[in-house]
Amino acid sequence: MIKRILPILFILLVVIACEFRNEEQVLPVETKTKNEEVIKSTSSKYPGIEVESKIVENDHYRYAVHYPIFNKSKIDTQVRSILNDRINTFVEKFTNKEKIEGWPHHYNVDFRIEYLTKELVSLVFTESTFLGDEKVIKERTIPMNFYLETGKQIILEDIFLNEGYLEKLSKISVEQLKSDDTIKKSLQSDWLNIGTKPIRSNFRQFHFTNKELTIQFGENQVGPEEIGSPVIVISWDELEFLIKDDFLPLLEKEKRNKKDKEEKKVVTEKKTKEKTKKSKKGSVKKRVAFTFDDGPHGQYTKEILDYFDDNHGKATFFVLGNRVNYYPELITRIHEEGHEIGNHTWNHKQLTLLKNSDIESQLKKTSKAIYSITGTKPTLLRPPYGSTNQVVSEVVNLPIILWSIDTLDWKSRNTKTIVNHVMTNVTDGDIILMHDIHQSSADAVKILLEKLSEQGYEFVTVSEILGFNEDHVPVSGKVYRK
Give the binding-site size for Zn ion (rule: CB under 5 A): 3
Task: Kindly tell me which of 320 and 448 has the beta carbon lying closer to Zn ion.
Answer: 320
Task: Kindly tell me which of 293 and 340 has the beta carbon lying closer to Zn ion.
Answer: 293
Site membership for Zn ion, residue 298 (CB under 5 A): no
Stretch that binds Zn ion, among 131-139, 164-172, 276-284, 288-296 (CB under 5 A): 288-296
Q: Least separation, in Å, of the C-beta of 377 and Zn ion?
A: 20
Q: Least separation, in Å, of the C-beta of 323 and Zn ion?
A: 11
Q: Which of 150, 169, 263 is nearest to 212 (CA)?
A: 169
Q: Which of 74, 89, 91 is nearest to 36 (CA)?
A: 91
Which residues sit opposite 356 in a β-bridge?
none
Task: Kindly tell me which of 67 and 292 has the beta carbon lying closer to Zn ion.
Answer: 292
Among 296, 384, 399, 474, binds Zn ion (CB under 5 A): 384
Task: Kindly tell me which of 43 and 291 has the beta carbon lying closer to Zn ion.
Answer: 291
Q: Least separation, in Å, of the C-beta of 293 and Zn ion?
A: 4
Stretch that binds Zn ion, among 81-89, 260-268, 290-298, 398-406 (CB under 5 A): 290-298
Q: Are 183 and 203 in contact (CB under 8 A)?
A: no
Q: Which of 105, 297, 344, 435 is catalytic?
A: 435
Q: Which residue number places its CB atom closest to Zn ion? A: 293
Site membership for Zn ion, residue 303 (CB under 5 A): no
Task: Kindly tell me which of 145 and 301 has the beta carbon lying closer to Zn ion.
Answer: 301
Task: Kindly tell me which of 340 and 458 has the beta carbon lying closer to Zn ion.
Answer: 340
Q: Which of 406, 452, 464 is nearest to 433 (CA)?
A: 406
Task: Kindly tell me which of 79 and 398 has the beta carbon lying closer to Zn ion.
Answer: 398
Q: Which of 293, 409, 430, 443 is catalytic?
A: 293
Active site residue 293: yes
Site membership for Zn ion, residue 294 (CB under 5 A): yes
Stretch that binds Zn ion, among 122-130, 219-227, 277-285, 289-297 (CB under 5 A): 289-297
Active site residue 105: no
Rounded CA-CA distance 59/223 in Å is: 37
Stretch that binds Zn ion, among 57-65, 329-337, 364-372, 377-385 (CB under 5 A): 377-385
Site membership for Zn ion, residue 409 (CB under 5 A): no
Q: How far apart are the first and last CA of the chain?
A: 58
Is residue 291 packed enough to be buried (19+ CB in 10 Å), middle (13-18) or exposed (0-12)?
buried
Stretch that binds Zn ion, among 44-52, 223-231, 291-299, 394-402 (CB under 5 A): 291-299
**Mask 67-86, x = binds Zn ion (CB under 5 A)?**
--------------------
Q: Least separation, in Å, of the C-beta of 241 and Zn ion?
A: 59
Long-range Cβ contact pairs of 151-154 (< 8 A, separation 24 or more): 151/72, 151/73, 151/74, 151/75, 151/78, 152/74, 153/78, 154/120, 154/122
Site for Zn ion in 191-250 (CB under 5 A): none
Q: Least separation, in Å, of the C-beta of 342 and Zn ion?
A: 11
Site membership for Zn ion, residue 293 (CB under 5 A): yes
Q: Least separation, in Å, of the C-beta of 449 and Zn ion?
A: 22
Spatial CB neighbours of 307, under 8 Å, sequence gap ≥ 6: 442, 445, 446, 449
Stretch that binds Zn ion, among 111-119, 271-279, 367-375, 376-384 (CB under 5 A): 376-384
Q: Least separation, in Å, of the C-beta of 294 and Zn ion?
A: 4
Which residues sit opposite 68 in a β-bridge?
51
Kindly state the greatest CA–CA separation across the chain: 75
Q: Least separation, in Å, of the C-beta of 308 and Zn ion?
A: 20
Task: Kindly tell me which of 187 and 319 has the beta carbon lying closer to Zn ion.
Answer: 319
Catalytic residues: 293, 435
Which residues of the chain form contacts with Zn ion (CB under 5 A)?
293-294, 384
